[in-house]
A = this chain, B = another copy of it.
């Protein structure tokens, strides 16, 4: 298929590469062009503008940082949405608000496009290995047409509904669940450390029993190490996603007390100087508040 790929950050680059490898005809575009060039040698075309990238596309995949980036590149006058041919499909893999996803849906519909939301779970390494998980929602026919793309990106594709926003809600609630694991582990590790229990051994117990899931291994390890400077996912980004989850919840009048609590802990992380640290730094806040030496 003729695919335009917009947004070549840590996640976008390996995702675009996967599509090239899978044999699709991929044209890439990135605001900072230098990031696009390496993909040329791997078989992608590099467009001078997103208009050029999308004007012939059957499918455009976007992987952009946040609502603002999607608004600027996709939604703005003259943006992707204005340049995309009729009948084409927009696969939005960015983690954006439910509200914006709903609006994109409507605007694409009016222009005769198909819009599906397909946020992904996983880190850059997983993207590179095609091991992402993809939660997708949208019109059934469009999802089926997009499936070869989705399957090239991830190890497994979950169809969660026919309204695109539903995939965004799944993604945001998933990030909320990760954050709640981080905060709960932070508290449990602070407690057990005060009783002299080695955090690595403690995580060993947890992750070999009821909590044998990647999220406990990853974040348990990070909190046990207490090294949060090198951020896989910053406090600031975590805060953004928890806010989006809480906004989605407010929209439908759903209280989420644990989400609120995590939001406030992340804000305290910012206030205490850790905005750019990994969000596992909640472990450090809990340790400080417990007076762990």
Which residue numbers of A lie inside 8 Å of B, CB to CB? 98, 121, 133, 135, 156, 158, 160-161, 163, 165-166, 169-170, 173-174, 176-178, 180-181, 183-185, 187-188, 190-192, 194-197, 201-202, 204-206, 208-216, 243, 245, 248-250, 252-261, 263-265, 267-268, 270-273, 275, 286, 288-292
Q: Is the CB of A166 within 8 A of B195?
A: yes
Q: Is the CB of A271 within 8 A of B258?
A: no
- Looking at A158, A254, A258, A291, the one whose CB has the most chain B CB atoms below 10 A away is A254
In the complex, A190 Cα to B173 Cα: how many Å? 10
Query: Assuming A158-B205, A160-B205, A170-B202, is B211 touching A258 (CB within 8 A)?
Result: no
Q: Is the CB of A267 within 8 A of B248?
A: no
7 tightest Cβ-Cβ pairs between the two chains A and B: A213-B213, A271-B291, A260-B260, A255-B267, A254-B290, A268-B289, A255-B264
Residue of B nearest to A202 (CB): B170
Query: Assuming A174-B206, A213-B210, is B255 touching A265 (CB within 8 A)?
Result: yes
Q: Is the CB of A253 within 8 A of B272?
A: no
Instruction: State which of B160, B183, B201, B210 has its C-beta within 8 Å of the C-beta of A158.
Output: B201
Q: Is the CB of A288 within 8 A of B271?
A: yes
Contacts of A166 in B (CB 8 A): 192, 195-197
Contacts of A204 in B (CB 8 A): 158
Contacts of A271 in B (CB 8 A): 253-255, 288-292
Contacts of A192 in B (CB 8 A): 166, 169-170, 173
